[in-house]
């Protein structure tokens, strides 16, 4: 069963970071063993650091059941892993790769990305070259932005 979807780069980053955080939590716990543990709880700064590490581990979450986004070979429609050139209604042009929320949240990719769960990502997914799509603006959800699909390429994943 697939629980999460992300690029291999993000997965490797999260796997490594989770191990670093676990080791740091263990190290800090070992420093405060025995009767010193009570003093750790009296030290608000040390307790806060441990809580931040635990929270980071929670954000990383369980990586079991992760499936990987691969660059698509079919570039006729926008799909996960597609690099898409867009033209917005104000004439601005930009290029994004459609990826997972984890890829966006942890910022592991060296190129502009958009999540398939974002309003823009949902609007362009499945579209073809020349199609237009509307999506709500986050600042004013009742207003819609229009975007045109200029080109679709295989992403550099």
């581990």: which residue's tokens?
57
Q: Looking at the structure, do residues 77 and 138 belong to the same domain, yes or no?
A: yes
Q: Looking at the structure, do residues 52 and 124 belong to the same domain, yes or no?
A: no
pLDDT of amino acid 33: 54
151 CB burial (10 A radius; 0-12, 13-18, 19+): middle
Q: Looking at the structure, do residues 92 and 150 belong to the same domain, yes or no?
A: yes
Number of domains in the chain: 2
Task: DSSP for 56-110, please give it.
Answer: HHHHH---TTEEE----S--SS--TTEEEEEEETTS-EEEEEEE-HHHHHHT--S
Name the DSSP letter for residue 142: T
Is the pLDDT at 94 greater than 90? The verdict is yes
pLDDT single digits (tens) 66-89: 999 999 999 999 999 999 999 999
Q: Looking at the structure, do residues 43 and 76 belong to the same domain, yes or no?
A: no
Q: Please say which residue of 67, 101, 117 terminates a domain.
A: 67
Q: Looking at the structure, do residues 80 and 150 belong to the same domain, yes or no?
A: yes
First-last CA distance in the chain: 23
Q: Looking at the structure, do residues 63 and 89 belong to the same domain, yes or no?
A: no
Q: 63 lies in which domain range?
A: 4-67
- DSSP lists the bridge partners of residue 94 as 86
pLDDT of amino acid 77: 98
pLDDT single digits (tens) 27-50: 877 666 554 445 545 567 778 888
Tokens representing 42?
């009296």
Q: Looking at the structure, do residues 111 and 149 belong to the same domain, yes or no?
A: yes
**Helix 44-60 / helix 8-31 crossing angle, nearest 10 deg:** 150
Contact 122, 64 (CB under 8 A): no
DSSP SS3 for 10: helix
Q: Looking at the structure, do residues 63 and 74 belong to the same domain, yes or no?
A: no
pTM here?
0.83
């Amino acid at each position: 069963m697939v629980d999460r979807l992300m690029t291999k780069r993000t997965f490797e980053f999260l796997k490594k970071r989770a191990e670093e955080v676990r080791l740091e939590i263990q190290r800090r716990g070992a420093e405060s063993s025995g009767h010193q543990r009570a003093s750790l709880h009296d030290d608000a700064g040390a307790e806060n650091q441990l809580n931040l590490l635990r929270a980071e581990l929670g954000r990383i979450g369980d990586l079991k059941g992760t499936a990987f986004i691969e660059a698509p070979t079919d570039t006729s429609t926008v799909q996960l892993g597609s690099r898409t050139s867009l033209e917005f209604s104000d004439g601005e042009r930009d290029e994004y790769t459609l990826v997972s929320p984890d890829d966006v949240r942890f910022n592991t990719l060296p190129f502009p990305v958009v999540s398939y769960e974002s309003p823009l990502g949902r609007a362009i997914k499945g579209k073809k070259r020349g199609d237009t799509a509307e999506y709500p603006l986050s600042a004013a959800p009742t207003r819609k932005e229009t975007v045109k699909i200029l080109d679709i390429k295989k992403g550099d994943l």
